Amino acid sequence: MMQNAVTFSINNWLEKKQELLRLLKLLDWSTHHPVISSIIILFIITIVFTLIKVIIRMVENTILSIIHIPLRVFLGIIRAGWSSTNKFTKLIFQNIEPIEKKYFPATSKYNNSIISTMEGKKMSEIYQQLTELNKQQEKLLQEIHNILEQDK
Protein backbone atom coordinates (compact mmCIF):
# COMPACT_ATOMS: atom_id res chain seq x y z
CA MET A 1 0.00 0.00 0.00
CA MET A 2 2.75 2.41 0.96
CA GLN A 3 4.68 1.47 -2.14
CA ASN A 4 1.70 2.22 -4.37
CA ALA A 5 1.26 5.63 -2.74
CA VAL A 6 4.92 6.55 -3.27
CA THR A 7 4.84 5.27 -6.84
CA PHE A 8 1.64 7.18 -7.55
CA SER A 9 3.03 10.45 -6.13
CA ILE A 10 6.31 10.11 -8.07
CA ASN A 11 4.43 9.37 -11.31
CA ASN A 12 2.17 12.33 -10.68
CA TRP A 13 5.15 14.59 -10.05
CA LEU A 14 6.97 13.33 -13.20
CA GLU A 15 3.89 13.98 -15.32
CA LYS A 16 3.93 17.57 -14.14
CA LYS A 17 7.67 17.85 -14.87
CA GLN A 18 7.85 16.64 -18.47
CA GLU A 19 11.50 17.75 -18.94
CA LEU A 20 12.64 15.55 -16.07
CA LEU A 21 10.63 12.63 -17.45
CA ARG A 22 12.30 13.01 -20.85
CA LEU A 23 15.70 13.13 -19.17
CA LEU A 24 14.98 9.91 -17.29
CA LYS A 25 13.83 8.23 -20.51
CA LEU A 26 17.03 9.38 -22.21
CA LEU A 27 19.11 7.94 -19.37
CA ASP A 28 17.20 4.65 -19.63
CA TRP A 29 17.75 4.55 -23.40
CA SER A 30 21.49 5.37 -23.01
CA THR A 31 21.99 2.43 -20.66
CA HIS A 32 20.74 0.12 -23.42
CA HIS A 33 22.92 1.80 -26.15
CA PRO A 34 26.37 2.55 -24.63
CA VAL A 35 28.23 3.43 -27.88
CA ILE A 36 25.72 6.02 -28.98
CA SER A 37 25.48 7.41 -25.46
CA SER A 38 29.30 7.77 -25.26
CA ILE A 39 29.28 9.71 -28.55
CA ILE A 40 26.52 11.96 -27.21
CA ILE A 41 28.45 12.50 -23.97
CA LEU A 42 31.59 13.47 -25.93
CA PHE A 43 29.54 15.87 -28.02
CA ILE A 44 28.01 17.43 -24.90
CA ILE A 45 31.47 17.76 -23.29
CA THR A 46 32.85 19.58 -26.34
CA ILE A 47 29.87 21.95 -26.37
CA VAL A 48 30.31 22.66 -22.65
CA PHE A 49 34.05 23.35 -23.07
CA THR A 50 33.36 25.62 -26.05
CA LEU A 51 30.82 27.57 -24.02
CA ILE A 52 33.31 27.87 -21.16
CA LYS A 53 35.96 29.21 -23.57
CA VAL A 54 33.50 31.74 -25.00
CA ILE A 55 32.53 32.92 -21.52
CA ILE A 56 36.20 33.21 -20.50
CA ARG A 57 36.99 35.20 -23.66
CA MET A 58 34.05 37.54 -23.04
CA VAL A 59 35.12 38.12 -19.44
CA GLU A 60 38.71 38.73 -20.55
CA ASN A 61 37.66 41.27 -23.18
CA THR A 62 35.40 43.01 -20.69
CA ILE A 63 38.16 43.26 -18.10
CA LEU A 64 40.65 44.53 -20.68
CA SER A 65 38.25 47.20 -21.92
CA ILE A 66 37.55 48.27 -18.33
CA ILE A 67 41.30 48.55 -17.71
CA HIS A 68 41.92 50.43 -20.98
CA ILE A 69 39.40 53.20 -20.29
CA PRO A 70 41.32 54.88 -17.43
CA LEU A 71 44.60 54.47 -19.31
CA ARG A 72 43.17 56.16 -22.40
CA VAL A 73 41.81 59.00 -20.30
CA PHE A 74 45.18 59.39 -18.60
CA LEU A 75 47.02 59.42 -21.95
CA GLY A 76 44.54 61.99 -23.30
CA ILE A 77 45.20 64.24 -20.32
CA ILE A 78 48.96 63.89 -20.79
CA ARG A 79 48.71 64.66 -24.52
CA ALA A 80 46.54 67.71 -23.90
CA GLY A 81 48.93 68.95 -21.23
CA TRP A 82 51.94 68.35 -23.45
CA SER A 83 50.44 70.17 -26.43
CA SER A 84 49.38 73.13 -24.31
CA THR A 85 52.88 73.27 -22.76
CA ASN A 86 54.43 73.25 -26.25
CA LYS A 87 52.11 76.05 -27.39
CA PHE A 88 52.89 78.05 -24.26
CA THR A 89 56.68 77.70 -24.68
CA LYS A 90 56.47 78.63 -28.37
CA LEU A 91 54.46 81.70 -27.44
CA ILE A 92 57.04 82.71 -24.83
CA PHE A 93 60.01 82.27 -27.13
CA GLN A 94 58.35 84.12 -30.01
CA ASN A 95 58.03 87.24 -27.88
CA ILE A 96 61.66 87.20 -26.68
CA GLU A 97 64.11 89.03 -28.94
CA PRO A 98 67.63 87.68 -29.22
CA ILE A 99 70.13 89.52 -27.01
CA GLU A 100 72.32 90.48 -29.97
CA LYS A 101 69.48 92.30 -31.72
CA LYS A 102 68.36 93.96 -28.54
CA TYR A 103 71.68 95.27 -27.22
CA PHE A 104 74.04 95.12 -30.23
CA PRO A 105 71.98 95.89 -33.34
CA ALA A 106 74.99 96.98 -35.44
CA THR A 107 76.99 93.80 -34.80
CA SER A 108 74.05 91.55 -35.54
CA LYS A 109 73.58 93.24 -38.93
CA TYR A 110 77.31 92.92 -39.54
CA ASN A 111 77.25 89.22 -38.60
CA ASN A 112 74.25 88.63 -40.84
CA SER A 113 75.97 90.28 -43.80
CA ILE A 114 79.11 88.19 -43.21
CA ILE A 115 77.03 85.02 -43.05
CA SER A 116 75.14 85.94 -46.21
CA THR A 117 78.39 86.65 -48.11
CA MET A 118 79.86 83.37 -46.84
CA GLU A 119 76.74 81.55 -47.97
CA GLY A 120 76.91 83.24 -51.35
CA LYS A 121 80.55 82.16 -51.79
CA LYS A 122 79.70 78.63 -50.80
CA MET A 123 76.74 78.58 -53.19
CA SER A 124 78.88 79.82 -56.06
CA GLU A 125 81.52 77.15 -55.33
CA ILE A 126 78.87 74.44 -55.33
CA TYR A 127 77.42 75.76 -58.57
CA GLN A 128 80.85 75.71 -60.23
CA GLN A 129 81.41 72.13 -59.10
CA LEU A 130 78.03 71.11 -60.47
CA THR A 131 78.73 72.70 -63.86
CA GLU A 132 82.10 70.90 -64.02
CA LEU A 133 80.41 67.60 -63.20
CA ASN A 134 77.78 68.28 -65.86
CA LYS A 135 80.50 68.90 -68.46
CA GLN A 136 82.26 65.67 -67.49
CA GLN A 137 78.99 63.78 -67.72
CA GLU A 138 78.33 65.17 -71.21
CA LYS A 139 81.83 64.15 -72.31
CA LEU A 140 81.34 60.60 -71.01
CA LEU A 141 77.95 60.33 -72.70
CA GLN A 142 79.48 61.51 -75.97
CA GLU A 143 82.25 58.88 -75.68
CA ILE A 144 79.66 56.15 -75.06
CA HIS A 145 77.69 57.36 -78.06
CA ASN A 146 80.82 57.28 -80.24
CA ILE A 147 81.69 53.74 -79.10
CA LEU A 148 78.19 52.54 -79.86
CA GLU A 149 78.31 54.19 -83.31
CA GLN A 150 81.61 52.42 -84.06
CA ASP A 151 80.22 49.01 -83.12
CA LYS A 152 77.36 49.33 -85.62
Read off the pLDDT of residues 67-81 as tens digits, 9 standing for 90 and up. 888 888 898 899 888
Model confidence pLDDT, tens digit, residues 101-117: 555 454 445 555 655 67
pLDDT over threshold 60, residue 89: yes
Q: What gap in Å lies between CA 42 and CA 44, rounded to an integer? A: 5
Q: Look up the pTM and report it.
A: 0.37
DSSP assignment string, 74-87: HHHHHHHHHHHHHH
Q: Which long-range contacts (CB under 8 A, 24 or more apart) does 95-102 make?
A: none
